[in-house]
Structure formats: C-alpha cells, structure tokens
Amino acid sequence: MTVDLDFLAVLAQWPQLARGAALTVGLTVASTLGGLAIGVGGAWARHDAPAWLRWPVVAYVEAMRNTPFIVQLFFLFFGLPSLGIRLSPVAASILAMTVNLGAYATEIFRGALLATPRGQVEAAASLALSRAQIFFHVVLPPALKQAWPATTSQIVIVMLGSAVCGQISAAELSYYANLIQSRNFRAFEATIVATVIYLALAVALRQALMVAGTRWLFGHSGVASGRAAAPASGSGPHP
C-alpha cells in the first residue's frame, strides 16, 4: 500500500498557521506575566504570611496541580457563565493558563526561598529593613535567579498545554491546524506541521527565556551577581 502525503496543501495555508502561532505566543506571554506575579505573591504568602492567608494558597496550589489543565479550562469557560461571568475564548484561555502557571510558579519559588541562608535575613534585619523590604530586596532576587531554569521549563509546559485552548475555539495554532484539515482532509499532515511549529516555538521560547534570565533579569544590575561583579571594577585586594 502507499501512503499519500501532501504537505504543500497544508503549508499553502501558512498565513493561518502564522496567525495561530502568534496567538499561541500571545497567550503564553500574557499568562507568563500574570503567572509569575501570582507565583511571587503565592511564594510570599507561603513564606511570610499569617496562617489564614497561607492555607488558601496551599489549597489553590494543590487544586491546580492535581487537576488537568483541560478541566480547569472547561470549568472557567463553560462553568463560570452560570455564575454570570462570561469569558471570551481568549480571555478564558489566558485566565486558565495564568492560574495554572501561578500555582506551579508558587511552588517553584517557594522551594527556592527555602534555600535562602538565615544569615542574610538576619543581616538585613540588623540594617533595620522592614519585612517587606527584606523579602523584596534580599530574599526574593537570588531565589528567582535560582528558580529561573525550573520556571523556564514550566513556562514551556504551559505554552505546549495551550494547544488545548483550541477546544474552546481560541484561535491558536492547534485551532488553525484543525480548521485546515477540516477543509482539505489532510489531517495527518496538518498535525505534523503544527507539531513541528510547536517544537520550534518550544526551543525558541526556552532559549529566549534563558538568555533573558542571564542577560537582563539577573544580569549585571541584579542583586545576586552584583556582589560577584564588584571586585572586578578596580583596586580591590583581589589578585
């Protein structure tokens, strides 16, 4: 038997694929910003907050980590309207990805915060910094730096998970792959092309995040590496 494949029929629809990939990137960027903010807040709550605030955060993290993303998405998109909250497919996708990433980021950052040496906190306290100042200026920056590789992996996982958002008709990459194959019946080819684009996006996103992490987020001006860079500037006692 022969298997007849026609990738050109799919590739001819490149404008749609590009539009879909653009929304996939857009969803990822939006949910990364929101998710990391939740992660910082959640990690602070687990680390520093009173118990009445800590337990809801624990419950949120466990609820997210022990249920599938697709169910979270369906709950937000199909379930919330019965409470009068009607979200567009894109808004529901961003919200679902954000709260999902937020839970994992909370857990990743919390683990990194635990690694902070006690002496640093005591030193900061002896400088009369407030608790909030200690958290945001002393404890958090090196913890974020340490957590960045794991965070990067999690962001890539969330980006790949966004393929499900096509199921609620958010017009991202997998949605267009489905649309194309429903018109030309090249189901396998359309899926292969979309898969290859996802792979390229995953590799590019990982690279971009690692570069962003080392060069901009935690680079020269960062607290953690600022110390290491200081002696190089001039007449220190170092050889």
Give the footprint of other proteins on this chain (CB under 8 A).
1, 3, 62-63, 65-72, 74-75, 78-83, 156, 160-164, 167, 174, 187-188, 191-192, 194-195, 198-199, 202-203
Tokens standing for 211?
């570069």
Comparison of 79 and 117: residue with beta carbon closer to other proteins: 79
Q: How far is the CB of 83 from other proteins (least distance, A)?
A: 7
Comparison of 63 and 208: residue with beta carbon closer to other proteins: 63
Q: Are 76 and 92 in contact (CB under 8 A)?
A: yes
Comparison of 29 and 157: residue with beta carbon closer to other proteins: 157
d(CA 99, CA 105): 10
Q: Are 205 and 155 in contact (CB under 8 A)?
A: yes
Q: How far is the CB of 107 from other proteins (least distance, A)?
A: 11
d(CA 72, CA 78): 10
- CA dihedral (17, 157, 69, 87) in degrees, to 10, reads -50
Q: How far is the CB of 64 from other proteins (least distance, A)?
A: 10
Q: How far is the CB of 65 from other proteins (least distance, A)?
A: 7
d(CA 205, CA 52): 37
Q: How far is the CB of 75 from other proteins (least distance, A)?
A: 4
Tokens standing for 97?
């990805």
Comparison of 129 and 202: residue with beta carbon closer to other proteins: 202
d(CA 94, CA 96): 6
Comparison of 82 and 126: residue with beta carbon closer to other proteins: 82
Q: How far is the CB of 12 from other proteins (least distance, A)?
A: 19
Residue 125 CB neighbour total at 10 angstroms: 14
d(CA 226, CA 210): 19
d(CA 63, CA 44): 19
Comparison of 77 and 218: residue with beta carbon closer to other proteins: 77
> What's the gap between Cα 148 and its chain centre?
11
Q: How far is the CB of 164 from other proteins (least distance, A)?
A: 6
Map tokens 């965070």 to a residue: 151
Comparison of 134 and 190: residue with beta carbon closer to other proteins: 190
